[in-house]
Amino acid sequence: MMHLYTLSCIILSLLITKKSNGISSPLQPYTSYRYSTELQRNVADLWWTVNETRQEITFELHIKTTGWIALGISPAGGMKGADIGLGWIDQGGQVHFQDRHANGFSRPVIDNTTTDWFALQGREQNGWTAIQFKRSLDTCDKMDVSIKSGTNTLIFAYGLEDSDISQPDGLIYYHDSRRGSRIVPLRSYGNPPSEEKFADLDYFEFKLNNYVVPAIETTYYCKVYKAPTNFRQRRHAIARNIMVDSNNRDIVHHVVLFECNPTAVFDDNNLPEGICDEITRSISSCTVNIATVWAVGGDEITTYRHILFDLDRHDNSGVRFYLGKELRQYELGYLILGADVSHSAIAIPPETDRFILDSYCPAEATQNFPEPAITVLAAFPHTHLQGRLIRNNKVVKYLFNAESYNFNYQFENLLPKPIELYPGDEFATRCVYSTTNKTDITLGGERTKDEMCLHYFLYYPRMKNYHGCLSLNSKEAWKKVMNSSESTFDYEKLGEWLKRLKWTPESVLQWQKFYNDAPRSVVAGLGDNFKWINLTKIPEYEDLKPVECKTDTSNFGIHQD
């Protein structure tokens, strides 16, 4: 009898997350929305829908107060530069709404350039204020913040009294501690359902068992599990819940579950587990085919500047899968595009404002995609990147463009519309880095201080023999830049050579040119079914033209002050 096994990798780092607890407002929203989230438990809730065709977004904000309420889009997570919509309901039941801008950590001023936040309707009831309002995704206003694809930073606040419009600039009384923030991908939120929805389903779990966490900066811990055998017939997992040990929310950074090769054989009484690098050989058949992935994110996060390592930390984190009662038509899979996770693919100069790393997956690598196509549902970017779909040397569309990215909030982004990928399609991945805060070169790797350029896509139907398409600079390219005449190539020596490099503004420009022009080696497929493809350089293609900023504010609001 053939047994199935999975490999769980738990990655530990210095971060803390908290999960949302659901909607608490007693008021019904005015309409149905695609997305919703709790901003602050029992205090503030938000609903929204994005209209990509009209390039506008409709919000509905509920806050437990009879004073003013406000929602802002922040460029960096704080007040400075934030674009804010602020409103209240007066004693006569009339909605007032203002477009404001925060110049700093002071009372935001009314934006007198253009009015770009528009109230639709609102009410005050049972001690709560609810206002529905709209704005364009990009208002073309220098005093506003564009709502870009990727992660967005929301700020909210509220007062106990209405704004006094008889005073200069519409006086609003200070909110004190009545404020908060939320990072969420407004245009691609996954909108996860409550776990209660799956309460009547069977489930199984893979968890660590009181693992003693080493007192070092980053640990990759791997453990092989035997898949459950107590089900009489085939079942599909239709949902998963990542269970981060409540005592270790400050150290669990991401979780990856791999499916082992069906031919893998293990001793069921002695399944491999340990530091991943130390058991590489014994788990080699279990490190390619991703079953699910999760990374740090959630409603709230704190990073520690001066961390104290506990010498007696034990971890029981893991993942729970809920099983559907009936088989579904398709199985989901993960497709990975981008650059190999190594210093032979990624080497970024320090103190550089903008460094571009391009990867390419040619048509030869996708010829065996199933007919007629695979369908992509969601994107999970692992850095600030753009993923382009190319046909006939022309960009058709972005697979996903993470214009706004936050390392500490890594969401699985649900695409507004599924995208079909056909055999022979080509993919270009561009990662953009800033290392202005670093004095040493940044290399590709799996530690939190290393860099990656990976784009995960959730798709169906799952391909059994295809994991991804990754590229790296060719050995010949590295030997040339290193002025090496050795017949063999030593990747360890390459790493040492890279760390010894001295940098000037001129050498950074030369390094960017090297990366732009370097021949690439591309590896595509899965396990023993992969193949190497050599590219003399990244092919030239016709890119998408920049979209001119346009906004239509006609028929938007009911009342603005």
Q: Which of 56, 318, 323, 40 is nearest to 157 (CA)?
A: 40
Among 2.60.120.230, 3.50.50.60, 3.40.50.300, 3.30.420.40, what is the CATH number of 333-535?
A: 2.60.120.230
Q: Which contacts of 242-246 are long-range, i.e. CB under 8 A and separated by 24 or more positions? A: 242/294, 242/317, 242/319, 243/205, 243/207, 243/317, 243/318, 243/319, 243/320, 244/17, 244/317, 245/208, 245/315, 245/316, 245/317
CA distance 230 to 228: 6
Running along the chain, 561 residues long, what does each successive block of 10 average in pLDDT? 50 34 85 92 95 94 96 84 92 92 78 88 96 94 85 90 71 75 86 79 88 81 87 83 79 81 87 89 83 61 29 71 84 92 94 94 94 91 68 80 63 84 94 90 84 90 90 95 88 93 96 96 83 92 78 54 44
Q: Which of 254, 248, 258 is nearest to 225 (CA)?
A: 258
Domain limits, the chain? 5-18+194-323, 35-184, 333-535
CA distances from 103 to 106, 114, 180, 238 (A): 7, 16, 18, 47
Buried b (16+ CB within 10 A) or exposed e, 340-363: bbbbbbbbbbbebeebebbbbbbb
Q: In sequence order, what DSSP letters do the residues of 352-368 get, joined into one string?
A: -S-EEEEEEE-GGGTTT
Q: Which of 78, 46, 84, 68 is nearest to 181 (CA)?
A: 78
* pLDDT at site 136: 94
* pLDDT at site 513: 97
* pLDDT at site 270: 92
CA distance 481 to 490: 14
Residue corresponding to tokens 């005015």: 30
Q: Looking at the domain covering 35-184, what would its CATH class be?
A: mainly beta
CA distance 248 to 107: 38
- At a CB cut-off of 8 Å and minimum separation 6, what does 28 contact? none
Q: Could you tell me the two tokens for 80?
A: 């400075």
Residue type, 206: F
Q: Could you tell me the two tokens for 117?
A: 């936040």
Length of the chain measured in residues:
561
* pLDDT at site 69: 96
CA distances from 5 to 2, 220, 238, 271 (A): 10, 19, 19, 10
CB 101 within 8 A of CB 111: yes
* pLDDT at site 534: 95
CA distance 133 to 118: 5
User: Strands, DSSP E only, in 373-451?
Assistant: 374-381, 385-391, 394-401, 413-421, 426-433, 442-443
Q: Which of 302, 279, 281 is nearest to 220 (CA)?
A: 279
